[in-house]
Structure 1
């Protein structure tokens, strides 16, 4: 690749990511699917050289922000209340899947167990990004969504720790399950403590800095501070990063200032979107390099390994999810607290086995050399991983919303959402009533009576809207929201006209624009929460 092409690689990738994301929005196809297919198409553009990546560079640059942002976005309360189901999937199902893949490849294909376990560890964790994108506008019960999101946090850690053990076994030629189990427990405990410490230090540092820009930079550095030291000391780094994110999610509400939150939402949304999109795009771009590598190795063998792996990861997940759902509930104490769900719920959870970003990052991080020799069947493992991602993403991902509707989960989710909306309105009402009660106590002090009355009218209007005023944004109508957006646009045009006539300074224009921007963002958020908030 020439220096000129390398110089333009980053802006060209950014343009491709932006264009493909627009295509996904216009076509209403999940962005990960469009990015994957777009990357595959770009890879075969005439004159496009094969894209090769440095394995460790991918691991340490792309993975930490993905894990951390997932942890921050996770509900700690929901995670804790569904811990049994999450751990059975995130630890049990991952190890079961990795072992099944390794065993079948050993007995059917003659692949060494350690090499097979490397592939099994890579493809064992379902991806969070693709299902979340597909289900963003689909009303499924909150518990189902929480279990899938929680699983995706911990299963990455389990899979990557198992992956590191398997790579070590390939290097040494020996694998000791008891030692690996003890090492995993040690990594789990030590990285949990370290992740909590990093989360605590990061939040305190951000709070005491008292500067939104500094706080955002500290937030961006946090996933790497959690990941890199643990990774370099022989751990995974994944558990520490996830725990740091969960710590910030639970404790940040008291320590992160409103202005920082406003900036952080937009910046983290951009970072997470860019990193996840880059990973899917990079996955698609690998197809040409993989094809070139397979030419000299044997397509029949590679396709057989890929097909066997694809079938295994799908079947094994069903074989695990149903017993893991119902067997613990045979214990009376558990059954009383948590009755067995209808079969539709575990069926949907078992179906949500889409592989994606983490699997490809792990595959790309397979070392080129081990013990002074090329890593055994590295190209085959990359090809099989790519095949599993494509098969599950294109064969399962687009139909998850339809499956949720066929199983009746969307009806259950819609009823649950109505209850959540009622709770939200109740809490909003309590907040406004508390404000009005406080305004009654400040009458007669230094504030002018007219100012007090104006504030009372303003919050009284909010209360009227919340109680069902005709201009409220509720679950039955979005017209009020769109009307507010139209009114904001009218105000923008008026301000712009006055500015063009030189009757408004630049500073004043920017202040008004910022207020209108915040108001528009609030309305957009309210409209979006009608259809998909959870």
Structure 2
């Protein structure tokens, strides 16, 4: 065993005295001069981010990895007063990222993959944190409390890089949903575990029953807060139906839900996720005009992109390469430890999924294992470690180095891995089918919008009929072509790789709709429980037989 020992000079060179674009030194300049300096720094960062975006597209590199490398390159040319601040990340950046992911998540798809998601985000996080903590204690000679804190910090996965890879390389939609779903919930579980460990540190001890009780209250309480504020905002969306006002409302819901959750002592992360799911799936439903929905989703896409851009640039700026080299042995051991923890939490847990849900293919498990890239939340939690933790500065250095090597090493290798695994093979038949589906869906969406404009009195009926008929021609053509494809002889279909043409995604949605209707009938006492459970068992068996999409 050996401990991590760093000189005071090394620690101070690694961490600037002030963090996040704030605390600009007031000596020698007034407020106006400090603000001008801040604006110049922001402009430089925006220009650097633009250049990284262009180069990443040209050389097919992950955008976030490019940002971190760019931050390393420009660190010496910017004031050392620019850096990361845990409070800003936790109270502003994190709610924005969580809300943006939640409103873009389809509850029906999330529900169809909820079992593997809960396995990875619940027991998976706990197992990964425990294994990582044990290896860090044995390998670096850490105390139990510091080891558990770092193990929990390194158990968090930042899926921004993974999702960016999925946008470049096609993967099955179920795999993408599992990755996104895990990222929505594992942050909350890790934060709850982190707070429980800090409670043990401050109080001296906590019983297992008290820990479970706190865990239950924090997670369930966060869910209730998110449900209440989410459904409260749904009614406001219907009455507003104004894109600019709706944007303000969504920002207030995202940030306000997190703060209210923190104030009442429950998980603000869980509250934001639940509120975002409610707003995205019910508040922005068909009752809100298409133009308002497009404006809102575009705003949140830009907000998430902007926040990630600044976070990953600042990660690169924050890290000192000289200090990283001096701490490299400990960092490499930490990376090995969290990789072992992720291995133990992914493969054994998902190996038994076939007993109660559709199995997760082994090739998908490889992506889930190597996609455990670390990011901003790990760094924010490292910053938030209290000063009473032994060797706090050394622990922060450990996390910083692990995040950097994870973003660069795993971020660069993941696209290559996903391509080599060949998770999706597009046939000519599937391409034709999806093009016709796109034509059918867009034409029908335009017709629905025309109906609402006619009902609102925006269009005269003669203009409405003329425009609607033009879309009807597209609908009829797409439906005829699709019908011809569906009616092809079975031997013709067999030659096109049948697992790609069974349209199991549509069948799965229909079966889930049937299951929902049965549960609603049982709740209203329309059908007996015996009949309902028998039908639900049949539907579950049909769901398990469907191919992964």
- TM-score grouping bracket, smaller chain normalisation: 0.7 to 0.9
For 1:308, the equivalent position in structure 2 comes to 333
Deviation, structure 1 residue 209 = 3.0
Structure 1 residues 414-423 or 156-165, which shifts more? 414-423
Distance 1:20 1:87, change over 3 A: same
2:80 counterpart of 1:25? no
For 2:87, the equivalent position in structure 1 comes to 56
2:133 counterpart of 1:102? yes
User: 1:149-298, aligned counterparts within 5 Å?
Assistant: 149-251=180-282, 252-288=284-320
Structure 1 CA distance, aligned partners of 2:173 and 2:290?
A: 27
Deviation, structure 1 residue 463 = 4.6
Distance 1:452 1:258, change over 3 A: closer
Q: Secondary structure at the match of 1:409?
A: coil
2:414 counterpart of 1:400? yes
Distance 1:424 1:94, change over 3 A: same
Structure 2 CA distance, aligned partners of 1:436 and 1:264?
A: 20
Distance 1:213 1:432, change over 3 A: closer
> Which of 93, 114, 119 pairs up with 2:145?
114
- The answer on whether the counterparts of 1:142 and 1:413 sit within 8 Å (CA) in structure 2 is no
Q: Secondary structure at the match of 2:192?
A: helix
Distance 1:231 1:107, change over 3 A: same
Structure 2 CA distance, aligned partners of 1:158 and 1:325?
A: 19
2:25 counterpart of 1:2? yes
- The answer on whether the counterparts of 2:223 and 2:271 sit within 8 Å (CA) in structure 1 is yes
Deviation, structure 1 residue 72 = 0.9
Structure 2 CA distance, aligned partners of 1:465 and 1:386?
A: 53
2:26 counterpart of 1:13? no
Unpaired stretches in structure 1, ≥5 consecutive residues: 439-445, 470-533
Deviation, structure 1 residue 234 = 2.7
User: 1:399-438, aligned counterparts within 5 Å?
Assistant: 399-411=413-425, 423-425=437-439, 427=441
Unpaired stretches in structure 2, ≥5 consecutive residues: 1-23, 27-32, 453-459, 483-548
Deviation, structure 1 residue 194 = 0.9
Distance 1:198 1:137, change over 3 A: same
For 2:507, the equivalent position in structure 1 comes to none
> Which of 444, 456, 478 pairs up with 2:469?
456
Structure 1 CA distance, aligned partners of 2:471 and 2:177?
A: 37
Distance 1:415 1:359, change over 3 A: farther
Structure 1 CA distance, aligned partners of 2:98 and 2:380?
A: 12
Distance 1:381 1:236, change over 3 A: farther
Structure 2 CA distance, aligned partners of 1:68 and 1:436?
A: 31
Deviation, structure 1 residue 130 = 1.2
For 2:97, the equivalent position in structure 1 comes to 66
Structure 1 CA distance, aligned partners of 2:287 and 2:379?
A: 36
Deviation, structure 1 residue 451 = 7.2
Structure 1 CA distance, aligned partners of 2:116 and 2:343?
A: 14
- The answer on whether the counterparts of 1:126 and 1:356 sit within 8 Å (CA) in structure 2 is yes
Q: Secondary structure at the match of 2:425?
A: helix
- The answer on whether the counterparts of 2:153 and 2:190 sit within 8 Å (CA) in structure 1 is yes
Distance 1:112 1:404, change over 3 A: same
Structure 2 CA distance, aligned partners of 1:325 and 1:32?
A: 28
2:165 counterpart of 1:146? no
> Which of 66, 69, 90 pairs up with 1:34?
66
Distance 1:105 1:409, change over 3 A: same
Could you give the per-residue CA deviations for residues 84-125 of structure 1, whole angstroms, max 9, x where no partner exists?
100111112211111112212222222111111111111111
Structure 1 residues 169-178 or 34-43, which shifts more? 169-178
Structure 1 CA distance, aligned partners of 2:273 and 2:397?
A: 28
- TM-score, normalised to structure 2's length? 0.73
Deviation, structure 1 residue 165 = 1.6
Deviation, structure 1 residue 154 = 0.5
Deviation, structure 1 residue 414 = 9.5
Deviation, structure 1 residue 432 = 8.0
For 2:404, the equivalent position in structure 1 comes to 390
Distance 1:305 1:21, change over 3 A: same
Q: Secondary structure at the match of 1:253?
A: coil
Deviation, structure 1 residue 2 = 3.4
- The answer on whether the counterparts of 1:195 and 1:242 sit within 8 Å (CA) in structure 2 is yes
Number of positions where the alignment pairs a residue of Structure 1 with one of Structure 2: 443
For 1:490, the equivalent position in structure 2 comes to none
Could you give the per-residue CA deviations for residues 193-227 of structure 1, whole angstroms, max 9, x where no partner exists?
11011111122223223433221101111111110
- The answer on whether the counterparts of 1:141 and 1:413 sit within 8 Å (CA) in structure 2 is no
What is the CA RMSD across the aligned residues, in angstroms?
3.2
User: 1:318-397, aligned counterparts within 5 Å?
Assistant: 318-329=343-354, 331=355, 334=356, 338=358, 340-367=359-386, 369-370=387-388, 375-397=389-411
For 2:505, the equivalent position in structure 1 comes to none
